[in-house]
Amino acid sequence: MADVSAHARSFEELRPAVLVRLMEVRASLDHGLARLDDDAARGQLDAVLDHVQAFLATGDRTPLRAFLRGFLAVRAAEGLAAENLLHTVVAIGDVCVQVIHRELGVAPAASELAAALSRATAACTRQVAELIADELARRLAQREQLLDGGAP
């Protein structure tokens, strides 16, 4: 992993502590995660952390968007509203920052990593909001088509 950013490497070192904390508070993060058994919840949270770390390493929003689109679909299949994912993404980011400060204190490196994770959380939040907007636009177009008698 020599080519990843310093933030991604630092986050990788803290991931076990972040995952433990996310598991401890998962019921307050998202009621969908609370319904899952430990292994399933850990798997979903670990997948989120994988993509956050990849975003820290590359800054590439394309795989992040693809992951969030799939994650949104899985959650919809579980009966969770799309808007719920916005809350969950922000809450996961908040927990990451809290763990950073707990583990690293107020050192400049901790502040830099916390800022990078805050930017990653903002990117995730924006991607989810765009996915929700895209879906609403698709549904409105479909509605208009139905109201026009099915004409293209």
Instruction: Read off the pLDDT of each residue in 52-56 and give the average, rounded to a whole number.
Output: 95
Residue 2 has pLDDT above 90, yes or no: no
Reported as a single tens digit per residue, the pLDDT across 11-21 is 999 999 999 99
Residue 97 to residues 48, 57, 103, 141, Cα–Cα distance (Å): 15, 17, 10, 40
Spatial neighbors of 16 by CB under 8 A, at least 6 apart, are: none
Q: Among 56-65, 67-76, 77-86, where is mean pLDDT lowest?
A: 77-86
Sign, CA torsion 99/69/43/12? negative
Q: At what angle do helices 108-147 and 38-58 cross, to 10 degrees?
A: 100
Instruction: Read off the pLDDT of each residue in 67-89 and give the average, rounded to a whole number.
Output: 88
6-147 to CATH, choices 1.10.490, 1.20.1740, 1.20.120, 1.10.3470: 1.10.490
Q: Among 68-82, 85-99, 107-121, 138-152, where is mean pLDDT lowest?
A: 138-152
- Predicted local distance difference test score (pLDDT) of residue 152: 56
- pTM of the shown model: 0.85
One DSSP character per residue, 97-108 reads HHHHHHHHTT-H
Reported as a single tens digit per residue, the pLDDT across 56-70 is 999 999 999 999 999
**Residue matched to tokens 């630092």:** 10
- Predicted local distance difference test score (pLDDT) of residue 150: 61
